[in-house]
Amino acid sequence: MAASETLTAERILEVTEEVLRRHGPAKATVVDVARALGVSHGTVYRHFGTKAALREAVTKRWLDRTASTLAGFVTEDRGPEDRLRAWLAGLFEAKRQKAGGDPELFATYSVLAEDAVDVVGAHIDELTGQLTEIVRAGVDAGVFTVSDPAVAARTVFQATGRFHDPSYAREWLKPGVEAEFEAMVELLLRGLRG
């Protein structure tokens, strides 16, 4: 790193992601990250107090990309059913791209997520919050007839787990999975309509 560059938390996270990609979660160390940045490991620890904190921050950064992409569907100028379809399809596609586009990094993040229970929980809360907004808009428009949008949103999220939970990643490329996804979404929409 050039002496004129300021080391930021974001830069550390970028490099940590590359180190994890190269070495995997079992072998990647804070010293490896510091070496890649051209700084001492103490400098990295000034930004992230522990190795666990650094790994949680990398995991959060990775999950936030998905949440940020999906947030756009929440406020789109179209009906709630179409927004819900698009949001669920967006989640499925984002997970499939991560799993298929960079399988090594996806496997790394799957390992990191197991240790980042609070980060993953907050991510799921954010996603179900987005779903709640869409369902509530459907109730307000008279399209959905559920009594509690938050409960309905969490149920939709859990019911579609096969299409976004990393433990099902191997199934996402199987023939016919898109048709199964569409059938699930249509079933859920019928249930929301009452």
> Kindly report the CA angle at 74 between 120 and 163, in degrees rounded to 5?
50
**Based on C-alpha coordinates, what's the Rg of the chain?**
19
Is the model more confident about 163 or about 3?
163
0.85 surpassed by pTM: yes
Domains and CATH numbers, the chain: 9-47 (1.10.10.60), 59-193 (1.10.357.10)
Give the helix/strand (H/E) hosting 20: helix 9-23
Is the model more confident about 25 or about 77?
77
Stretch 137-141: mean pLDDT: 97
Stretch 102-106: mean pLDDT: 76
Instruction: Report pLDDT for 178.
Output: 96
Reported as a single tens digit per residue, the pLDDT across 3-48 is 436 899 999 999 998 998 888 888 889 999 999 999 999 999 999 9
Q: How many CB atoms lie within 10 A of CB 121?
A: 10
